[in-house]
Structure 1
């Protein structure tokens, strides 16, 4: 599953053009204080992970839903081939007088 980050598009549709504007909105509407560097990273990079609280704050600040911020590819991926089962070795024939094969 792969997600595409669409924060810049969602922000621009709401006439939020700078990190400073987004930072102010996050503080005013959602009560989330973020550093300028963190807001800048959200706008310029696709995050590898995102806290649900941050996602909720972005949705509140931009008056949108997570669907406006994320585009998730739900195309099934091909399953990795399963390795073949190990081949069982044949037990050595039992020697006369023994009840179990040697270890």
Structure 2
């Protein structure tokens, strides 16, 4: 099985164009007909978007003079190879330990 993830390089591309604040991006998006709130732009820049409209992606590429490949770097990990090795990556093996059950003493 393959696990799919990606890296989002919007902040890096903005810095290359001299934009260091999330508010620097909002007027450029507005000029291209993309209306996003201040909070939405902040999440777009600082986070990793789960959904992104194609119009927004094209506007970002136009603003930053880049391609979608410059903004999105796919990461595909083959999880079946990890399981075949006996454990998942990043998982710590747990050693079995014998447990002793102590019952309370009753006095009669």
* Partner in structure 1 of residue 26 of structure 2: 23
* Structure 1: gaps (5+ residues): 80-103
| 1:6 pairs with 2:19 | no
Write 1 or 2 for the structure with the bigger share of strand.
Answer: 2
Out of 54, 57, 69, the position equivalent to 2:56 is: 54
Q: Secondary structure at the match of 1:3?
A: strand
Q: Secondary structure at the match of 2:34?
A: coil
> RMSD in angstroms over aligned alpha carbons?
1.9
Out of 40, 43, 46, the position equivalent to 1:44 is: 46
Q: Secondary structure at the match of 1:78?
A: helix
* Partner in structure 2 of residue 96 of structure 1: none
Q: How many residues align?
A: 79
Shift in Å at residue 39 of structure 1? 0.3
Pairing 1:83-102 to 2, within 5 Å after superposition: none
Q: Tell me, in whole angstroms, the C-alpha distance in 2 between the residues paired with 1:62 and 1:4.
A: 17
Shift in Å at residue 51 of structure 1? 1.6
Bigger CA radius of gyration:
1
What TM-score do you get using the length of structure 2 for normalisation?
A: 0.64
What TM-score do you get using the length of structure 1 for normalisation?
A: 0.67
Q: Tell me, in whole angstroms, the C-alpha distance in 1 between the residues paired with 2:20 and 2:50.
A: 23
